Every structure is written in C-alpha cells, then in structure tokens.
C-alpha cells in the first residue's frame, strides 16, 4: 500500500522523500498482489460504477451550527450568531458573518440544517460521523469498531483506480480521527500522513511539490536506483501498473506547480493559529487527486473547539481566525470545479463531529459547549441539487424542526453519488486475539431533497 505523508503539526498537505520511498517501496512493490494494487478486482473485471469522487473536509473540534450556516439573528442575544450574518445569493438565506465569499456562491452549495445525532463527546461524535456507527467508547481511546467512510469506499471500489493506479483513499492536511478500516483490514487504511506501517511510503516536503524540477529529479533518481537493483525487471503486470503510478501519475497529480500562480493564490495559503494546515493548498491538491481517479480524499482542518477554556478560543475569536482561509478556499474550489466542468464529478462534504450549544456559556463567557443534536453540514457538487437549504432547525438552533438526517443518511447520499452499494462488506472477521467482529450495516437513506 502507498502512503503519502506529511508531518502532523506542519502547515503542509502532502509530501514525499525518496529515501523512504525506496526503503519501503522495494519491499512493497514486490508484494503488490496483497496491498498495492487490487489484483483480484482487476482480474475479475471490476469497473468503477461512476466516474465520481468525494472530498471529505473535516472540521475537527466541532464548529458551531449558528456561526456557520444558521445565524438565528432574531433569537435572544445569547443564542444568535456572535459573528453576525451575511446575506447570501439565495433569497432570504444568510450565513454566519465570517463567510462572505461562500455566501456569494450559496446558489452553488447545499446546506443541511437538520443534520443531527446524539453523541456530544469528541471521540464518540467523531466515530459516529466518520463511520456511521455510534460508539461512545471511542471517547475513552478504545479502538475504532467500524470502518470509516473512506475505508468502505476503498473496499467497494478497490485500493487503486484500475486505469490510473492512483490510490482510492488518500488523507491530507491535519488529523482526522476514526478514519481507519477496523475489521476491513489494514489494506483499506488511508494513505496516512503520520507515516505509519504501510508497505510503501512516499514522503517529500510540500515546498518540493511546488518545485517541479526537484520533484522530477527525485523520481528520475528513483527510476535509476530501481533499474540498478533489478527489482523492476521481475514485476508482473500489477507491479508495473503501480510503478507507472509512482513514476508518472504521482509526479503529475501531486505537482502543484502545474497549476497557475493565479489559481494557487486564489485558493490561498493561509492558516489559523489553531491549525497549521493550509486548507487552500489541500483543497487544490484534492481536486487534482480526484481528477486523477482518487475515490475519496480526506482533509483535516481542525481548531473548531470554541469553549474559551484550556487554550481554546471563544467562538467569535475562533471563527474570526479559522474562517477566512476556509472561506477563501471553498470559494476558489467552487469557481474551479464549475470552470472545469467537474461539478458533477466531485462532491465536497464539509462537517465536524457535532455543533455547539446554542446558548453562549455564562461560566466561560463567549464559549459554546459541545452539541450533537444539531451539526453543521455543507455539500458542494457531486451532481446533487445545489442552491438550497435542506431542513429547518428550531428558533434557537437547538435541534431539527423538520425531519432529521443522520450520519448514516449522509453516507447513503455519498454512496449514491459514487454509484456503489455502501453496505457491501466481508463476512465476520477475527481481529487478532479479540473475538469475531460482526460487520455493522448502516441502514441510511439518501437525503431526498438532494437528488
């Protein structure tokens, strides 16, 4: 399996380092039948049901539903948006005041104001929204018990795109917890930026991705080293497919210098004091990876735990710091995919583990506590019906006033966009010395207003 990595606490999206590439790559490439390329799926003639991809933009910490897309300016002052509101391109619809560029493009997004669950713990909420399964024990650092969305997609579609060889499930930016495969097995883990124990590791600093000549020199040297070692000569067709990916597709898909300076500036390179990830560069890179055939790209952009305690900011300050890079990046992404005709190919989903308490916390002035009964959810593209607000919330943004939609419903909608049966799983499996694990079905429904 290939793993494209970045140090966890530096402001980069992805990276490659030739020495690590060769050290682990030689071992990995000789055993690709099990990990690097989906041999069984390819030999069985499995094809992608739809030429569609998903970008999962994770706002770790739990962003407020009020300061994002449901400002409630008619509510009492302790409930309304601390950042005010801004008019959108949709009549009568407003967003929180720190999203002016996104608001101007609201006709090209869909906001769900009735997305909810019932686990207000960071771990439990993260597990539920990333896997579709509620598991309170994840708050207590228990192992993940259900596969992540990305792992389910990789299991159904295969580890690599059958034509380009690009990995199905890639992870960029900051940490996204509960993104592991659980009982599906390690082969279906994301290309993890922590650089853990997969059998092919590719690492290079982001500045080298921007330096096309350095990038190509690294790949040229890798080719020469592999030729001298004799490894490439003995590969079967699946190994050769992976080699073509590594030496051609990767150097192209990950080379941000192939984009114009104007477009890169439009996406932005900004960060917030609470998250060093350059969300604009991550989104631009994710778009390139989806174009190259990735099925799902996870992006972590955390820093949304706005309690005003233990180093976390009050909600107003937090949004004023975290929102501008995100507002710029999302707006550039919208313009970009529509300009390229990708609005039906790529679906962007943005959410977090929960929302925030509608009432400002009087014990910690300016902060909002965890609140799962209403969670912000934004969708862009994927051929879904854009330019709408789905569902309604109560007058003080406490819970859905209309039919609520769950994480399982969101997954069902994503599977619909991808054209796959997300419920397909292997039989019960043994996890080491632990008991047999029974696969858990999600049972969600496609959100009808979006299709």
pLDDT at site 435: 67
pLDDT at site 300: 94
Residue from 426, 418, 445 nearest 157 by CA: 418
User: Model-level pTM?
Assistant: 0.83
Question: What mean pLDDT comes out for the span 404-416?
Answer: 98
% of the chain beyond a pLDDT of 90? 61
pLDDT at site 29: 35
Is residue 83 domain-resident? yes
Is residue 426 domain-resident? yes
pLDDT at site 53: 98
- The domain tally of the chain equals 1
pLDDT at site 201: 36
pLDDT at site 213: 58
On the question of pLDDT at 258 being above 50, the answer is yes
Question: What mean pLDDT comes out for the span 259-263?
Answer: 96
Question: What mean pLDDT comes out for the span 52-59?
Answer: 98
pLDDT at site 2: 36
pLDDT at site 255: 80
What CATH number did the domain enclosing 328 receive?
A: 3.40.720.10
pLDDT at site 405: 98
pLDDT at site 174: 84
Question: What mean pLDDT comes out for the span 277-292?
Answer: 94
Is residue 255 domain-resident? no
On the question of pLDDT at 280 being above 60, the answer is yes
Question: What mean pLDDT comes out for the span 315-329?
Answer: 97
Residues 6+ apart with CB under 8 A from 59: 301, 302, 304, 350, 351, 352, 376
Question: What mean pLDDT comes out for the span 329-356?
Answer: 98
Residues 6+ apart with CB under 8 A from 352: 58, 59, 60, 61, 62, 63, 129, 304, 375, 376
277 or 130, which is more confident: 130
On the question of pLDDT at 193 being above 60, the answer is no
Is residue 381 domain-resident? yes
At residue 151's C-alpha, the angle toward residues 275 and 289, to 5°, is 60
180 or 197, which is more confident: 180
Is residue 405 domain-resident? yes
Question: How far is Cα 354 from Cα 186, in angstroms, rounded to an integer?
Answer: 28
115-159, pLDDT tens digit by residue? 999 999 999 999 999 999 999 999 888 999 999 999 999 999 988
Question: What mean pLDDT comes out for the span 364-382?
Answer: 96
On the question of pLDDT at 33 being above 60, the answer is no
Determine phi and psi for 389, rounding to 5 degrees: -110, 120
Grade residue 256 by pLDDT with cuts at 50, 70 and 90.
confident
Question: How far is Cα 444 from Cα 134, in angstroms, rounded to an integer?
Answer: 13
Grade residue 200 by pLDDT with cuts at 50, 70 and 90.
very low
Q: How many residues does the chain have?
A: 451
Question: How far is Cα 231 from Cα 28, in angstroms, rounded to an integer?
Answer: 11
Highest-confidence segment of 16-20, 27-31, 325-329: 325-329
Q: Mean pLDDT score of the chain, rounded to an integer?
A: 82
On the question of pLDDT at 297 being above 60, the answer is yes
SS3 category, 3: strand
Question: How far is Cα 141 from Cα 412, in angstroms, rounded to an integer?
Answer: 27
pLDDT at site 221: 56
Residue from 390, 450, 380, 337 nearest 106 by CA: 380
Highest-confidence segment of 208-212, 330-334, 426-430: 330-334
pLDDT at site 241: 47
Q: What HEC string does 76-142 produce?
A: CCCCCCCCCEEECCCCCCEEECCCHHHHCCHHHCEEECCECCCCCCHHHHHHHHHHCCCCHHHHHCC
Highest-confidence segment of 51-60, 157-166, 233-242: 51-60
Contact between 254 and 4 (Cβ < 8 Å): yes
Containing structural domain, residue 145 = 50-192+261-450
SS3 category, 222: helix
CA distances from 49 to 46, 153, 289, 335, 355 (A): 9, 12, 18, 27, 34
197 or 372, which is more confident: 372
Residues facing 347 on adjacent strands: 54, 381
Residue from 268, 250, 267 nearest 203 by CA: 250
Is residue 232 domain-resident? no
pLDDT at site 265: 97
* Sign of the alpha-carbon dihedral angle for 414, 50, 291, 22: positive
Grade residue 40 by pLDDT with cuts at 50, 70 and 90.
very low
pLDDT at site 205: 43
Is residue 158 domain-resident? yes
pLDDT at site 8: 37
Q: What share of the chain is helix, strand, coil (3-state, %, to 5)?
A: 35, 15, 50
Is residue 169 domain-resident? yes
Question: How far is Cα 208 from Cα 211, in angstroms, rounded to an integer?
Answer: 5
CA distances from 13 to 173, 176, 180, 300 (A): 4, 13, 19, 9
> Max Cα separation, the chain?
72
SS3 category, 355: strand
- Cβ burial of 8 (10 Å; 0-12, 13-18, 19+) is middle
Residue found by looking up tokens 């992976």 in the block: 242
11 or 156, which is more confident: 156
pLDDT at site 277: 87
- H/E segment holding residue 429: strand 429-430
């Amino acid at each position: 399996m290939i793993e494209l990595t970045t140090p966890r606490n530096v402001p980069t999206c992805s990276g490659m380092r030739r020495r690590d590439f060769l050290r682990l790559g030689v071992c990995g490439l000789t055993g690709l039948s099990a990990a690097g390329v989906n041999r069984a799926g390819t030999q069985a003639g499995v094809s992608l049901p739809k030429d569609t991809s998903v970008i999962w933009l994770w706002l770790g910490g739990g962003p407020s539903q009020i300061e994002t897309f449901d400002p409630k300016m008619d509510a009492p002052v302790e409930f309304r948006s601390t950042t005010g509101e801004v008019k959108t391109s949709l009549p009568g619809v407003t967003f929180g005041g720190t999203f002016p560029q996104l608001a101007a493009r609201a006709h090209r997004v869909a906001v769900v104001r009735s997305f909810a669950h019932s686990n207000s713990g960071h771990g439990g909420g993260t597990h539920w929204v990333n896997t579709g399964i509620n598991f309170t024990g994840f708050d207590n650092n228990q192992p993940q018990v259900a596969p992540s969305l990305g792992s389910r997609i990789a299991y159904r579609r295969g580890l690599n795109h059958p034509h380009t060889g690009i990995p199905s499930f890639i992870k960029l930016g900051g940490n996204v917890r509960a993104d592991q495969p659980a009982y599906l097995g390690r082969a279906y883990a994301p290309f993890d930026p922590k650089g853990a124990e997969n059998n092919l590791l590719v690492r290079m600093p982001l500045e080298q991705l921007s330096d096309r000549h350095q990038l190509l020199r690294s790949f040229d040297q890798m080719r020469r080293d592999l030729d001298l070692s004799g490894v490439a000569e003995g590969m079967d067709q699946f190994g050769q497919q992976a080699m073509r990916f590594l030496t051609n597709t990767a150097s192209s898909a990950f080379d941000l210098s192939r984009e114009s300076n104007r477009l890169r500036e439009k996406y932005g390179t900004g960060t917030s004091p609470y998250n060093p990830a350059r969300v604009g560069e991550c989104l631009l890179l994710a778009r390139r990876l989806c174009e190259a055939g990735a099925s799902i790209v996870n992006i972590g952009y955390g820093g949304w735990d706005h309690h005003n305690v233990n180093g976390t900011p009050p909600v107003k300050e937090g949004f004023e710091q975290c929102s501008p890079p995100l507002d710029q990046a999302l707006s550039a992404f919208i313009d970009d995919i529509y300009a390229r005709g990708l609005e039906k190919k790529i679906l962007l989903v943005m959410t977090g583990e929960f929302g925030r308490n509608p009432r400002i916390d009087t014990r910690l002035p300016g902060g909002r506590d965890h609140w799962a009964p209403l969670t912000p959810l934004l969708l862009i593209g994927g051929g879904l019906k854009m330019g709408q607000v789905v569902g309604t919330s109560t007058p003080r943004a406490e819970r859905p006033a209309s039919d609520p939609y769950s994480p399982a419903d969101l997954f069902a909608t994503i599977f619909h966009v991808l054209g796959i049966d997300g419920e397909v799983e292997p039989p019960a499996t043994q996890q080491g010395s632990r008991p047999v694990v029974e696969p858990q079905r999600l049972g969600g429904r496609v959100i009808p207003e979006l299709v």
